[in-house]
Structure 1
């Protein structure tokens, strides 16, 4: 929200300002009695001297910076208290994002220390490091374990534990993985060294809505699903029967090259490795220097923003920071396609006069209300749309409507566009409103309803604070 490149809506709004001013100038020159011509008169703008430009890099900073600061203070002091305590568990030892409840399948060999113990005694025996929550019967069905059941050789269970602790406990208590998983691990073991990776299933991932069989086919059995972590609902199925959802965290095992290929091709997000490696950030300073130079060049108008950042990407390639083989893999193609489809829709809304009709309806409804109310209403509508569709698409839809309302009122288009930019960047009510919302769903142990518990008060605060800030820094 603080800079033009901070969010996709900011970039869209910045360039949209220039194209709209060009279009208004052309309409005003073509007809001196047009609404566009009247707009420039009320704004005391000499059309012949007008040089349309987009919003600059830091034009979003005054409003966005204050909103961001107040938002952080709200979350730190009050917002976190609105989240249910069940989502605020203390992180387990050695875990990342409090992922301490991986689900996996184990069997009881004859040397296991659990033999002859009751199921109810296991949690205390392992000091709450392992929980048995499912008993796998011979016909592969899962039932709730009988707490009085005495564990015997050959029993199979679904257990819940931190993966780091589970590895230690398998040696400590003599646990083993189930036969099928053990066979697949042994097949890889003799080929090359194997590694573990924790990965997150995102909205764009090909695994979303699929099962373990799909993962096996896509990886040609070169990667093993060792365990799965999902918060908010219990898992009482075999790993082979589980359908992957957004926010699931998977523990994968395989050769490092196969793991990297799998993560890339299935559009998974790898979580940080548990063991810190010295020297992995050796090129961070170079990357930051190049990125900072691109920002400075665009900020002072030395180069257009597209040219400066395209140059930064080329420098990343030449310096080896970004392998050329990874260049196109990092592009979010679904978003590119979405924007490519929405830009013609946005243009059609304007060329067919639809934006004018929508603006007339909103003006008719709000004709007796002050400007600050109209700006707040635009922000609320934009926020609502951003909670259910992509925020960049929302900006493309709402920007022309906001401009049409401003022109009809004879007011500057800048505060209206800023209202859209702020609203499109604040999608806090649902996990599908923004990619970041979905990314923290699983690791943060959040439920769908947790988002609006804190998101709704936060959005109300932003509307109440953002509207006067926009009017102060961008007078109508």
Structure 2
């Protein structure tokens, strides 16, 4: 069987696995690489050379520098200004989306979104705005901002490196700016004037209470002298129940102790604040002898007409319970695992209180829920460990951030290090990968970012995806597969102007990026673009630039880009909601990008 046929089989299976989504994309990419080696498509001694590729090193360095910006307080200063825009929706959209466009040009676009997502949620809550109107524009803005510079998004870095391998000279830091900035501004104008009106409004999902309806599930249960649970610890209680029922607090001698931090034995008279529905309450009574508190039970006995309204208004006091919302990232270790498998309480000191998906609380038992990317979790934990635990789990906190926490004294140092790296790249003193890696190293050495957080900043799945797919993409070229695809497109396009084929390549790449990771789309489409340019006998640059721009414009699905996935849960979006604004936005992008590419990079 010809090598090109084998490559097509491997890529077909790989793309099918990407779309299926059963296995994480880094595992799929690694399987494609190892399969290619076993089939002889990639030489064994070159199998892992992709992990040392300049594109992979550059992406890793940008991720570390992005985290350094966050830690030093650079982005918090900007976010603080965004919160002052007032209650007009247009100004909120302009401030949030405009800010994320600018930030995404100079730091990882997922990182920029992660920093502004809590700000958007806070704006929605303070001004009683549906977060669905803010979050999709914010996600799309992060994608648009990534188009503007070399370091804004992985596809730009991949395309620049590919050009260097073909021509000996890579695209520069701001080579993408003329086209990228124009497309980003056109997209931003569309979002602010028309696009947000196409987003479905999911009312009442901005607050914890609205999303989780927690107050209706909180009950106070008393430990009595005849309770089986007398003398148990909370761990004993969970073990006996064989069920995940969060105990948010234990009240003893009129003092409330948070459930996650209570390690003593239960005594007579203790009141447990429990997150439980009717089935769980029956289980607690049958197996542990816990019953509704005495005062509440007495009220039920003495209940009289006219008193019901008063009782309904009475709620359980939840102040000081350290509840926090967090959204599950695509690369989270929680994906496809249950709370029992993760041992949230024992290993991370966290209580899982509730899970929301598609904007509504899941009613099934907590122990049976397998987490998905975009799920919103309601968690309880200690304030000091909460941030570290969420970072380790791969969750993004949605609670209101305390702004300018970081290290304000390091703010200027962080900016200075980054500016020096940019200047070094612009003056061609060092390649981008070396300059940015040096900046990341200096940031760690000077303490702008702790070493542990530096390693946490590395997005492992993306690094593995790039390192594995780069040799597979090269196999597509060396086997003749890319030329074969290009020849087919040339046969169809020979009777049309070259710009028609260029537009077709742009649209095809854009469609591919809606179902696979944008970095993978750029790796696969770059050799095809080069073969097309050679076939037409025209410049390589416009074809590569078309791939770079289109690979980053995944606006149609929540799975095409991590930014889209991250806002799905908090915004209460459904899969089909992305088409409403995504289709016209992609039309705007094509209409603006193709003329600008031909103007800046002539055929």
Q: Please give the range of the TM-score, normalised by the shorter of the 2 chains.
A: 0.7 to 0.9
How big is each residue's C-alpha offset from its partner over 1:69-123, in whole Å with a ceiling of 9 and x where there is no partner?
000000111011111123x65844xx7xxx841254312679xxxxxxxxxxxxx
2:568/2:574 contact within 8 Å kept: yes
- Whole-angstrom distance in 1 between the partners of 2:376 and 2:281: 28
- Whole-angstrom distance in 2 between the partners of 1:217 and 1:271: 19
Q: 1:60 aligns with which of 154, 158, 176?
A: 176
User: Is 1:18 paired with 2:164?
Assistant: yes
SS in 2 for 1:228: strand
- Whole-angstrom distance in 1 between the partners of 2:297 and 2:194: 52
Task: Note the 1:435-450 alignment, pairs <5 A.
Answer: 435-450=562-577
1:9/1:392 contact within 8 Å kept: yes
1:194/1:255 contact within 8 Å kept: no
1:103/1:229 contact within 8 Å kept: no
- Whole-angstrom distance in 1 between the partners of 2:298 and 2:537: 80
Deviation of 1:284 after TM superposition, in Å, equals 2.8
Deviation of 1:214 after TM superposition, in Å, equals 2.9
Against the structure 1 CA distance between its residues 134 and 429, is the aligned structure 2 distance closer, same or farther, given a 3 Å change threshold?
A: farther
Q: 1:301 aligns with which of 428, 436, 440?
A: 428
Task: Note the 1:53-202 alignment, pairs <5 A.
Answer: 53-86=169-202, 89=204, 91-92=206-207, 100-104=210-214, 105-107=217-219, 135-136=278-279, 153=297, 173-175=314-316, 195-202=322-329
1:460 corresponds in structure 2 to: 587
SS in 2 for 1:441: helix
Further displaced range: 425-434 or 327-336: 327-336
Against the structure 1 CA distance between its residues 176 and 455, is the aligned structure 2 distance closer, same or farther, given a 3 Å change threshold?
A: same
TM-score scaled to structure 2, two decimals?
0.58
1:109/1:176 contact within 8 Å kept: no
How big is each residue's C-alpha offset from its partner over 1:293-339, in whole Å with a ceiling of 9 and x where there is no partner?
21121122122111111111112112212111222222111111111
- Whole-angstrom distance in 2 between the partners of 1:446 and 1:280: 36
User: Which blocks of at least 5 consecutive residues in structure 2 are unaligned?
Assistant: 1-146, 223-274, 285-295, 300-310
2:377 corresponds in structure 1 to: 250
1:426 corresponds in structure 2 to: 553
- Whole-angstrom distance in 1 between the partners of 2:159 and 2:472: 16
- Whole-angstrom distance in 2 between the partners of 1:356 and 1:279: 51
- Whole-angstrom distance in 2 between the partners of 1:223 and 1:133: 17
Deviation of 1:289 after TM superposition, in Å, equals 2.2
Deviation of 1:434 after TM superposition, in Å, equals 0.6
1:223/1:258 contact within 8 Å kept: no
SS in 1 for 2:568: coil
How big is each residue's C-alpha offset from its partner over 1:16-74, in whole Å with a ceiling of 9 and x where there is no partner?
111112xxxxxxxxxxxxxxxxxxxxxxxxxxxxxx31111111111111000000000
1:107/1:154 contact within 8 Å kept: no
SS in 1 for 2:166: helix
Against the structure 1 CA distance between its residues 445 and 107, is the aligned structure 2 distance closer, same or farther, given a 3 Å change threshold?
A: same
Aligned residues: 381
1:372/1:468 contact within 8 Å kept: no
- Whole-angstrom distance in 2 between the partners of 1:20 and 1:108: 69
- Whole-angstrom distance in 2 between the partners of 1:230 and 1:363: 46
Task: Note the 1:320-331 alignment, pairs <5 A.
Answer: 320-331=447-458
Q: Could you say which structure has the greater relative contact order, defined with CA pairs below 8 angstroms and 6 or more residues apart?
A: 2
Deviation of 1:194 after TM superposition, in Å, equals 8.2
How big is each residue's C-alpha offset from its partner over 1:427-449, in whole Å with a ceiling of 9 and x where there is no partner?
11111101111111112221111
TM-score scaled to structure 1, two decimals?
0.73
Alpha-carbon RMSD: 3.2
SS in 1 for 2:351: strand
Against the structure 1 CA distance between its residues 77 and 134, is the aligned structure 2 distance closer, same or farther, given a 3 Å change threshold?
A: farther
2:557/2:575 contact within 8 Å kept: yes
- Whole-angstrom distance in 1 between the partners of 2:573 and 2:409: 35
2:334/2:371 contact within 8 Å kept: yes
1:183 corresponds in structure 2 to: none
Against the structure 1 CA distance between its residues 279 and 262, is the aligned structure 2 distance closer, same or farther, given a 3 Å change threshold?
A: closer
Against the structure 1 CA distance between its residues 286 and 175, is the aligned structure 2 distance closer, same or farther, given a 3 Å change threshold?
A: same
How big is each residue's C-alpha offset from its partner over 1:215-234, in whole Å with a ceiling of 9 and x where there is no partner?
43574372112343433445
- Whole-angstrom distance in 1 between the partners of 2:433 and 2:462: 18
Further displaced range: 239-248 or 419-428: 239-248
User: Is 1:356 paired with 2:502?
Assistant: no
How big is each residue's C-alpha offset from its partner over 1:132-186, in whole Å with a ceiling of 9 and x where there is no partner?
9975476569xxxxxxxxxx8499xxxxxxxxxxxxxx9x835278xxxxxxxxx
User: Is 1:4 paired with 2:150?
Assistant: yes
User: Which blocks of at least 5 consecutive residues in structure 1 are unaligned?
Assistant: 22-51, 111-131, 142-151, 156-169, 178-192
2:555/2:579 contact within 8 Å kept: yes
How big is each residue's C-alpha offset from its partner over 1:203-250, in whole Å with a ceiling of 9 and x where there is no partner?
111212233323435743721123434334452234344332222222
- Whole-angstrom distance in 2 between the partners of 1:273 and 1:391: 30
Further displaced range: 466-475 or 65-74: 466-475
Task: Note the 1:202-221 alignment, pairs <5 A.
Answer: 202-216=329-343, 219-220=346-347
Q: Write 1 or 2 for the structure with the bigger share of helix.
A: 2
